[in-house]
Each structure stands twice: as C-alpha cells, then as structure tokens.
Structure 1
Amino acid sequence: MSRLAWTLYNALQLLFTLLWTAGWICLALLVRLLSGGCHWPLRMASRCWAPGLLHGAGARLEVHGLEQVDWARPHVFVANHQSMIDICALFRALPVPLRFVLKQELAKVPFVGWYARAMGMVFIERSSARSSARRLRAAADLLRAGASVCAFPEGTRSRDGRVGAFKGGAFQLAIEAGVSVVPVAIEGSGRVLPAAGFRVRPGRIVVRIGEPLPTRGMTPHERNALAQQARAAVAALLGEGRAQ
C-alpha cells in the first residue's frame, strides 16, 4: 500500500508540475508581450512559479549568505547541480532576475524552451565550439548591461551528491564581462527530486551563498584556475553544512 500511495503521489505531483509550469509560462509570455520587457516575467518565475513548485513538492527552502553579495551589481552565479528542482531553488533564493545557462536541447522543450528564449536565457551547444563561443559573447553583453547569469558548470546533474569538475565556459564569460563569480552550494535537492526519474519526497533544501570571487585583471586563459577555485568554494560550503 505504501508503494502504491507513493506512486499515486508522484503521478499527481507530475501532473501538478506540468500544469503549473504551463500555466505560469503562458501568463509570463503574455506579460512579456504586453510589457515589452523581461523584468516582470522573470520576477513571476521567482515569486510565483518557483515557490509554487517547491511548496507542492513539500520542500522547505533555507537560504544563507545573502549578505555576502552586492545585489546592485551583476554577477555570474555558479552552483552544484543535483536535481531539476535546483532551478526553482535558485530562482527563489537569489533576489535578482536570473538568466540561466542551459543546454541547447532545452530550447526544443515546449513551454520551457519558449519561456527561456523569450527571457534571453543562454543556450550552449556543446557539440559546436563556434556556436558556444558566439552565445557566450552574447551572454557577456547581458552582464555588461546589468543582468545576472546563473550556470551549473558541472554540465550535468550529480547522481551521488559529489561535486564534479567545473567546466570553464561560465568563468570565461565572467572574465570577459569583468564581473565577479559567486559560488553557490545547494544541499538536499537530490533527496527531494533525484536526478533519475520523477520521485518527489518532501524535505529540506539549503542554499548557501559564498563570497564573490573577483575577476578583475584576469585573462580568459585563467578560466580553468578560476573554475577550480569556485569548485573548491562550493565544496567548502557543502562541507560547512554537513559539519553543522
């Protein structure tokens, strides 16, 4: 009976997730059309869509370290990645409109892809270095215009909770735009919604924001060293949580 109950619960969760997401995206696209800008549609994601999905999943969100960041400036936020619900957690935790760096495949997903393209999200085609470089340059222009960008530099979701190697693209972007990199550690999301399948379990998600890493004076050739520094900072933030 317990297994049957969880199966029914997850089926209802999936239905709720699809309907909630489609509904808010349609409304956000309408607001985008009427307002001519991305500010309010992006705030709808952080204030309506994301908290609705977190609440529906029974996820309790805790945020630490907001005081570390000057939120009036643009930044590149880099986070570890355990679950699709990480995007909800970051939309809700970080008090600025966010553009995410996403895999090109997501551009083809109905509703999600439509919203992401309309909001100016950055799509990376990993099989094409030339295309990725062009899109990273466009993302650098976003940062110079005052927008903040969020990336998962591991490139994929971790299935065991360990932080993988960080790829250099997001760090080159920060260096070229001259903005700081902010390490962000997400803990607990993989237990709420594991990387494989769709099995929601209520639980706590903790977002810890680290001290910004300056990029002033750095060259693109130093991006891998910056990536290693950011990965170490994220791993340290996760270690702080486990020590509590």
Structure 2
Amino acid sequence: MRTVIIIIFLAIYLILALPVLIIGFIVGLFSKKDQYKIGKFIVTHLCRGIMFLTGSRVTVTGIDNIPDETVLFVGNHRSIFDVVLLIKVINRPFGFIGKKELTKIPYLNLILKLMGGLFLDRSNLRAGLKVILAGIDMLKKGFSMLIFPEGTRNKNGEEPLPFKQGSLKLAEKANVPIVPFSIKGTDNIFENTNGLKVKASKVKLNFGKPILLSELPEEDSKKSAVYVRSIVVDLLSDMLPH
C-alpha cells in the first residue's frame, strides 16, 4: 500500500513542480548557484514527502560535525533511499556523482541535473575522468558534493565494500574537507523486502568529524581511501547497540 501511495505522490508532485523546474533551468543560464538552490528546494520537499510516506523512523547524529564550508560527503551505500535520506537531512545544495543509467529515466534526469548531478560511465575511462574533473571544478567553485566510493550498493553484509582511491581525488585536488557518514537501515525500506514493497524501517544516519586529506600523516595519506573507510566503519559501529 505504501508503494502505491508513494507512486501517486511522486506523480502529483512532479507535475506540480514542472513550472519551477523550467524556471530553474532558465535561472541556470545566468547563475548556477541559484539553479542549484532551486533544484535543492524541489528535491528536498520531494524527499521529505517520500521518507514520511515510508513510515520510517529516522535518527540523525553528528549533524553538528558538518562545517559551514564546501565539503565532500563520503559514506557507505546501502539503498536507493540513501540519497533520498541525505537530501532530506543535509540543509544545503550539493551535487553528486551517480551512475550514467540515471540519465535514462525521464524527468528524474532533469531534476538531478538541475541540482548539480554528474553522471559517470564506468565503461568509458576518458568520459569518467571528465566527470571527476567537473566534480573538482564544482568543489573549487564552492558547491559541496556527495559520493559513494564503494562504486555500487553493498548488498551483502553490514561493513562497506572497499573504497575506490580515485573517488577521493575530488577532495584532494579541490583541497576541501571530507565529511564521512554512515547509513544503516535504508535497505530494509525497499531492497530487503519482497517484490516492490516499501516498508517502514528504523533508519540511522551518523556524520563524523571533517577530514582534511592534506593534514593526514604520510602513511594514511597514501592510502586515504582505506583510512576514510575505517572512519565510516567506526561510525557504523557507533550506531550498533553496545
């Protein structure tokens, strides 16, 4: 029943948001900053509605660890609801790097581009490099970004998959802090249910303290992906009952 209600909500919301979407792209011809604000406004209210309709209970900790500056959000990836949750919680416009397949979904691709989405084709190294460079450019211009350095959703086990070293180049080259985060329970909303059912879940989101790669000891700096992953694992452990 929740699935049907969410689909109806999506359809109605996206129809009503169409004029604002068009305005956003027109504004973007003159100011990308204002375009991303409009995109974040549209998507934030959409995500708040979706999370409410799932019936899930969300607990957020460490939100005060997010500094008032441009950052790269880095964390584990469990569900398609991860991005929905993060957009709902993070109170600022931010872009992200997602898989190219998202561009094939009508309307959704426009909304994601409006809020600064970049899309990675894993089969094309040259195109992938351009996406990374575009992400670095966004960070240097003052727009925060979100990445899931596992490269795909982790469908087995609680601990995240190995982080890809190249994904942290964005923070390194733009010299911005990494804000690590851990997510637990979003996969129980949809992925772990039978069929296409949406179920209420206890969801936890935990933000850690900022990490500036240039300030890491040399040993950790060389293997920054391993280091940042270890922080995310610790954040996950903090959410488990002791």
Give the stretch that moved more between structures: 123-132 or 23-32. 23-32
* Structure-1 separation of matches of 2:16 and 2:77: 24
**% identity of equivalent residues:** 26
The equivalent residue for 2:183 is 186
* Structure-1 separation of matches of 2:46 and 2:188: 21
Q: Give yes or no for contact 2:47–2:87 (8 Å, CA) kept in 1.
A: yes
* Structure-2 separation of matches of 1:24 and 1:239: 42
Q: Give yes or no for contact 1:125–1:132 (8 Å, CA) kept in 2.
A: yes
- Please tell me the residue identity of whatever aligns with 1:166: F
* Structure-1 separation of matches of 2:3 and 2:177: 41
Q: Give yes or no for contact 1:172–1:223 (8 Å, CA) kept in 2.
A: no
- Structure 2 vs 1, CA of residues 113 and 21 (structure 1 numbering), >3 Å: closer, same or farther? farther
* Structure-2 separation of matches of 1:177 and 1:13: 42
Q: Give yes or no for contact 1:77–1:151 (8 Å, CA) kept in 2.
A: yes
Q: Deviation digits for residues 8-31 of structure 1, max 9, x if unmatched? A: x15514523641563365254123
- Please tell me the residue identity of whatever aligns with 1:115: I
Query: 172, 175, 180: which one pairs with 1:175?
Result: 172
Mind listing any 5+ residue stretches in structure 1 that lack a counterpart?
Answer: 1-8
The equivalent residue for 2:73 is 77
* Structure-2 separation of matches of 1:153 and 1:147: 19
- Please tell me the residue identity of whatever aligns with 1:66: I
SS in 2 for 1:83: coil
The equivalent residue for 1:44 is 42
* Structure-2 separation of matches of 1:112 and 1:34: 18
SS in 2 for 1:162: coil
1:62 matches 2:69? no
TM-score scaled by structure 2? 0.86
Runs of 4+ in 1 over 6 A off after TM superposition: none
Query: 150, 156, 160: which one pairs with 1:154?
Result: 150
TM-score scaled by structure 1? 0.86
* Structure-1 separation of matches of 2:39 and 2:180: 25
1:141 matches 2:133? no
The equivalent residue for 1:32 is 24
Q: Give yes or no for contact 1:84–1:195 (8 Å, CA) kept in 2.
A: no
- Structure 2 vs 1, CA of residues 136 and 20 (structure 1 numbering), >3 Å: closer, same or farther? farther
Q: Deviation digits for residues 177-218 of structure 1, max 9, x if unmatched? A: 111111110111011121685321112211100111102368
* Structure-2 separation of matches of 1:38 and 1:32: 8
Give the stretch that moved more between structures: 190-199 or 174-183. 190-199
- Structure 2 vs 1, CA of residues 224 and 193 (structure 1 numbering), >3 Å: closer, same or farther? farther
* Structure-2 separation of matches of 1:210 and 1:77: 10
The equivalent residue for 1:5 is none
1:22 matches 2:14? yes
Q: Give yes or no for contact 1:74–1:143 (8 Å, CA) kept in 2.
A: yes
SS in 2 for 1:212: coil
SS in 1 for 2:183: strand
- Structure 2 vs 1, CA of residues 198 and 79 (structure 1 numbering), >3 Å: closer, same or farther? farther
* Structure-1 separation of matches of 2:7 and 2:60: 28
SS in 2 for 1:23: helix
The equivalent residue for 1:132 is 128
- Structure 2 vs 1, CA of residues 113 and 223 (structure 1 numbering), >3 Å: closer, same or farther? farther
The equivalent residue for 2:202 is 204
Q: Give yes or no for contact 2:2–2:53 (8 Å, CA) kept in 1.
A: no
